[in-house]
Amino acid sequence: MTFSPSRRIALVAALAATTLAFSLPGAEVAHAADQVVRIGATPGPHAQILEAVKPVLAKKGIDLRIQEFSDYVVPNQALDAGELDANSFQHQPYLDNQVKDRGYKLVSVATTVNFPMGIYSKKHKSFDQVPNGGTVAIQNDPTNGGRTLLLLQDKGVIKLKADVGFKPTVLDIVENPRKLKFIEIDAAQAPRTLDDVDAAAVNTNYAEPAGLSPQKDAILLEEPKGPYVNVIAVRAADKDKPWVKDLVEAYRSPETKAFIEQKFKGAVLTSW
Angle between helix 242-251 and helix 45-58 axes, rounded to 10 deg: 120
Residues 139, 192: one domain? Answer: yes
Residues 98, 135: one domain? Answer: no
Task: Provide CB contacts within 8 A for 220, sequence distance 6+.
Answer: 118, 119, 127, 151, 152, 155, 157, 199
Looking at 20-24, 68-72, 121-125, 186-190, which range is the least confident one? 20-24
- Rounded to the nearest angstrom, the gap between the alpha carbon of residue 213 and the centroid of all alpha carbons in its chain is 18
Residues 109, 199: one domain? Answer: no
How confident is the model over 212-223, as pLDDT tens digits? 999 899 999 998
Q: What is the mean pLDDT of residues 178-199?
A: 97
Q: Domain holding 140: CATH number?
A: 3.40.190.10
Between 3 and 223, where is the model more confident?
A: 223
Burial of 254 from C-beta contacts in 10 A (0-12 / 13-18 / 19+): exposed
Q: What is the mean pLDDT of the chain?
A: 89
- Kindly state whether residue 125 falls inside one of the protein's structural domains: yes
Residues 108, 232: one domain? Answer: yes
Residues 128, 215: one domain? Answer: yes
How many structural domains does the chain have? 2
Residue among 249, 261, 225 nearest 109 (CA):
249
* Amino acid, res. 23: S
For residue 25, CA distances in Å to 29, 60, 221 come to 6, 16, 54
Whether residue 66 has pLDDT greater than 70: yes
Predicted pLDDT of residue 33 = 52
- Kindly state whether residue 9 falls inside one of the protein's structural domains: no
Residues 73, 208: one domain? Answer: no
Whether residue 18 has pLDDT greater than 70: no
Residues 111, 231: one domain? Answer: yes
3 state SS of 92: helix
Predicted pLDDT of residue 166 = 87
Write out 174-213 in H/E/C secondary structure: EECCCCCEEEEECHHHHHHHHHCCCEEEECHHHHCCCCCC
Residues 167, 150: one domain? Answer: yes
Predicted pLDDT of residue 26 = 42
Q: What is the mean pLDDT of residues 26-43?
A: 71
Residues 124, 204: one domain? Answer: yes
- Kindly state whether residue 56 falls inside one of the protein's structural domains: yes
Chain length of the chain: 272
Looking at 5-9, 87-91, 217-221, 248-252, which range is the least confident one? 5-9
How confident is the model over 77-136, as pLDDT tens digits? 999 999 999 999 999 989 999 999 999 999 999 999 998 899 999 999 999 999 999 999
Q: What is the mean pLDDT of residues 182-201?
A: 97
The domain in which residue 65 lies consists of 33-115+227-270
Residue among 138, 80, 110 nearest 247 (CA):
110
How confident is the model over 152-170, as pLDDT tens digits? 999 999 999 998 988 899 9
Residue among 102, 63, 106 nearest 82 (CA):
106
- Kindly state whether residue 23 falls inside one of the protein's structural domains: no
- Kindly state whether residue 3 falls inside one of the protein's structural domains: no
Residues 110, 236: one domain? Answer: yes
Predicted pLDDT of residue 92 = 93
Predicted pLDDT of residue 167 = 87
- Kindly state whether residue 1 falls inside one of the protein's structural domains: no
Residues 148, 185: one domain? Answer: yes
Local confidence band at 225 (pLDDT 50, 70, 90 cut-offs): low
N- to C-terminal Cα separation, the chain? 68
- Kindly state whether residue 169 falls inside one of the protein's structural domains: yes
